[in-house]
Amino acid sequence: MTEQVQVSQNTEQVAAQPTVAQMKDDSYLLEVNNLKMYFSITSGIFARVKGFTKAADDVSFFIRKGETLGLVGESGCGKTTIGRCIARAYEPTAGEILYRLADDSVVDLAKLKGKEVRPYRKDVRMIFQDPYSSLNPRMTVFELVSEVLKVNNLVKSNQMKDRVEHMLERVGMRPEYMQRYPHAFSGGERQRIGIARSLITNPRLVICDEAVSALDVSIRAQILNLLEELQADFDLTYLFISHDLSVIRHICNRIVVMYVGKVVEVANGLELYTHPKHPYTEALMSAVPISNPRVRNRESRIRLHGEVADPSNPPSGCYFHPRCQYAQDVCAKDEPALRVLDGNRYVACHFAEKLDLRGAAMED
């Protein structure tokens, strides 16, 4: 049995807003520093703790205002956990989640307790992966989209209908659909309802958790184009979580690569795809699908040996070293720090400067 590690809190009392002096850069909307999210592993009838699953282990990155930051990695690497920590669906075990408010003051979302989180729910929103399970089948479209407005007292009751109508039209849905239930819609239409629900509060940061992975290929492009249009119209910032490298390549400005709860590389999209600096990123890039058959087989795919490390019992040193074809003795002993390389990218590899890694095959 796995349970979230919690810190004692008093939800009855609301303390003053915790603030910090400044982020590292004025262009940052969000800065994550040394974020940890551990889940306790329990056993027996007394649920004794026998270990911890390190879903996110010392994760650091930043998101600039107005950009789309991609978060990629294999299933189980901690992508969704990080998104839920930022949205405060989870209470982080340790670390900082610094969020810049509209007045340029900064709040640490990780330190908020109970009701202190509520004022920021409207600013940081999530679009969930599965459009079928994320919508309550017993609620109409109007109830689904307007619920967050009622809970947070954001709109007067006589203005609620107009607000919902406008948002449904903006995501490509007809206003007369408001009294229908989710079962009457296709997967793409349900995801549009989910997007409307997320944007109805006029958020500043939207976490897209595998927002198109459950959709048909023919519908994905429509939803991605819609997200880009909405970003321009509403001045949104996206954290786009996905394992689909072709989607990430299309929509993201910068990309964070994760492996077993740790960040291994951060770079601009084109740089990461053409010149990766971490061996794990190189393996990911070799798996990027190419539509042109004349280009598709120019380079063979890198097939990693062994299994993904267990986050409850990770290997010593670099977590990736048991599967890395470039690993040396130091990799098994010393954990590489995430360090700045070439000014605007970050890599966690002892030999990042020495390795000549190949990127994804680029179409002509």
> What is the band of 261 on the pLDDT scale with cuts at 50, 70, 90?
very high
Crossing angle of helices 157-170 and 141-151, rounded to 10°: 120
Residue % of the chain over a pLDDT of 70: 90
- SS3 for 183? helix
> What is the band of 229 on the pLDDT scale with cuts at 50, 70, 90?
very high
Single pTM value for the model: 0.88
Tokens of 265: 């590389």
* Strand duo 48-64 + 28-43: pairing: antiparallel
pLDDT for residue 158: 87
pLDDT for residue 14: 38
pLDDT for residue 16: 44
How far is the C-alpha of 9 from the C-alpha of 233, rounded, in Å? 39
> What is the band of 174 on the pLDDT scale with cuts at 50, 70, 90?
very high
pLDDT for residue 190: 93
Q: Which residues pair with 20 in a beta bridge?
A: 106
pLDDT for residue 24: 77
Q: What are phi and psi of 163, to 5 degrees?
A: -65, -45
Compare 364 and 163 and report the one with higher pLDDT. Answer: 163
> What is the band of 17 on the pLDDT scale with cuts at 50, 70, 90?
low
> What is the band of 213 on the pLDDT scale with cuts at 50, 70, 90?
confident
Check pLDDT > 90 for residue 91. yes
Check if the beta carbon of residue 55 is closer than 8 Å to that of residue 78: yes
For the four alpha carbons of 165, 136, 219 and 294, in that order, the dihedral sign comes to positive
Check pLDDT > 60 for residue 18. no
Query: What's the chain's average pLDDT?
Result: 87
How far is the C-alpha of 72 from the C-alpha of 105, rounded, in Å? 30
Check pLDDT > 70 for residue 10. no
Tokens of 166: 């406008």
Check pLDDT > 50 for residue 3. no
Contacts of 61 (CB under 8 A, 6+ apart): 32, 69, 256, 263, 266
For the stretch 291-304, pLDDT in tens is 666 655 656 778 88
Candidates 265, 254, 276; CA nearest to 348 is 265
Check if the beta carbon of residue 362 is closer than 8 Å to that of residue 295: yes
For residue 290, what are the CA distances in angstroms to 211, 246, 362? 22, 9, 8
For the stretch 119-144, pLDDT in tens is 898 999 999 988 888 899 999 999 99
Compare 100 and 43 and report the one with higher pLDDT. Answer: 100
Check pLDDT > 80 for residue 2. no
- SS3 for 94? strand
- Torsion, Cα 83 86 89 94, to 10 degrees, reads 110
3-state secondary structure 256-309: EEEECCEEEEEEEHHHHHHCCCCHHHHHHHCCCCCCCHHHHCCCCCCCCCCCCC
